[in-house]
Structure 1
Amino acid sequence: MPLIDTFTDSYEHVGVEDKKTAHRNGSWHRTFSALAVNPLDWTVLLQKKAPGRYSFDRPDYADITVGGHYHAGETIPDGIREAREELGLPLNYSDLHPIGLRQTAITLAPDYIEREFQHWHLIPLAIDLDEIPLDDAEVAGLVEIGIDDAITLAAGDTTTIPARYATRTPTGLTHSEGSLAATDLIPNYLTLDQLYLRLFIAARRYCAGERTHLFW
C-alpha cells in the first residue's frame, strides 16, 4: 500500500500514512484529477473503472478521465504519472492545463472517508479514441461524448446522449457506438456541487479558445 502525505483541513502538511489508513481515518490528502478534452472534435473522455477497485460496492459509473493519489513526497507536476499510467500516453505536465483546486469531503463507506484536496486539470488530446492504448489494468474502458451533449446531460436537460466506447476485453480493446445515460454518472458529481457540469463547461470554454480563469 503506497504512502501518501496527509494535511490539516487548511492544507498544511502534518505527516504520512498509507492510503488505506488515510481513508479509514478520514485524513486529508491530495489527489491528481484531470478531464481529457479533444479541442478539434469538441469531445471529452470519461473513464470506466475495472471491477473490484474499491473496498465498497460501486456501480459501473463513468468517472472523470484520470484520478489518483499523489505518493508521499511528490510535487503537483508529479501527478502526470497518473495520466501516463491510466491512458498509456507519453504525456508531460506541461501538456496539461491546470484549472484549480477542489476541497471535498464525503463518507463513501464506514471505512472509506474521502477528504481530499483535488488538483484539477484539463488534458488536451487532439487524437482519436482508438489511438489511446489504455494500458493500465485498473481502467476497464473509456467513453467519448460531445461536449455540448455532455453539458445537456449534466444539466438535467436530457437523460441520454450518444457515446463512443473503448472497452477492454481479454483480447484487447474493442470500439463501439452506444449511448450514455445520466444514471451512468456518479450521483454526487451530478448533484452535490455539479462537478460534471462545471468541468464540461470549462472544457467547452477551452475549446472556444479561452485559456485564463477557467476555474469552473
Structure 2
Amino acid sequence: MAENEVLKIFDHNYQQISTATRQVIHSQGFWHETFHCWFYTIKEHELIVYFQKRASQKKDFPNQLDITAAGHLLAEETVIDGFREVKEELGIDVSIDQAQFLGVFPVEIALENFIDNEFTNVYLVDQELLLGDFYLQEEEVSCIFSVPLSTLKELFENPSAEAILKGVTQKNGQQEIIEEYFSKKDFCANAQSYYDRLIESFEKILEIQ
C-alpha cells in the first residue's frame, strides 16, 4: 500500500537524514521529495496547461485538479526515476532530454491529520495532449483538462470566478471529450507560492515565443 512506501527524510537544506514510511512522514510533517511533471502547449499565442483530475476513489484530494503527472520518490529512487509516474499515469514515455527542469519548489501544507512538507522537483514538457494521445491509469486519474494560462490566473486571483474547461475523460479504456465548470476550490491544495512561481515561469515561456 502507498502508506507503507518508504521515502527519504530531509532537513530544511534538502540533505537526507533518514527514511520512514509515507504514513509516518505525513503524520509527523517530515520533509520528503516528490516529482512533478507539467505538460503544456502554446496555441494561437495562448499557453495551455494540462491538469489531471484525480480519481474519485483517491484517498487524498479526490476529484481535484492536480499536476499533469506526479508522485512521491521512493527511498531507493533518484529524481530522474520520477518520470515513471508519467508512464504509469498517462501511458506516455518521456525522457529527461524532452523535459525542462524548472527547479526545486519547497511546499508546506498543513491540513487536518495531514502535514505535507515537500521538496518538489518540477519539470515541464512541451507536448500537446489530445484525445488518444495518452492512456489514463483510471484508478489514479479520471480526466485530463486543458487550462489556458489566462484562465488559470483569473481563477486564482478571483476565488469566486468560474470557468468551463474542456477535457478528455476515460472510463473502461474508452475516452471522450467533456466540459466541466471549475473554480479555485476545485484545484488540489498546494502552497500559493508554488502556483505563483509556476504561473510566472509559464509567463516567461510565453513572452519569448
Structure-1-length-normalised TM-score: 0.82
Task: Assess, with a 3 A threshold, how the Cα gap between structure 1 residues 12 and 108 changes in structure 2: closer, same or farther.
Answer: same
Deviates more, 1:198-207 or 1:1-10: 198-207
Name the CA distance, whole Å, in 1 between partners of 2:99 and 2:147: 20
Q: How many residues align?
A: 204
Are 1:51 and 2:48 matched, yes or no? no
Aligned to 1:147: 149
Aligned to 1:102: 105
Name the CA distance, whole Å, in 1 between partners of 2:28 and 2:160: 39
**3-state SS, counterpart of residue 134 of structure 1:** coil
Identity %: 23
- Give the RMSD, CA atoms, in angstroms: 2.4
**3-state SS, counterpart of residue 137 of structure 1:** coil
Unaligned runs of 5+ in 1: 211-216
Aligned to 1:90: 93
Query: Partner amino acid for 1:2?
Result: E
CA deviation string 1:86-106 (max 9, x = no partner): 111011122111111111222
Aligned to 2:21: 18
CA contact under 8 A between 1:154 and 1:197: conserved in structure 2?
no
Are 1:73 and 2:76 matched, yes or no? yes
Alignment of 1:205-216 (within 5 A): 205-209=204-208
CA contact under 8 A between 2:161 and 2:184: conserved in structure 1?
yes
Name the CA distance, whole Å, in 1 between partners of 2:111 and 2:159: 28
Task: Assess, with a 3 A threshold, how the Cα gap between structure 1 residues 124 and 4 changes in structure 2: closer, same or farther.
Answer: same
CA deviation string 1:10-63 (max 9, x = no partner): 211112212112212222110011221013462111111112322x6x452211
Query: Partner amino acid for 1:108?
Result: L
CA contact under 8 A between 1:67 and 1:82: conserved in structure 2?
yes
Unaligned runs of 5+ in 2: none
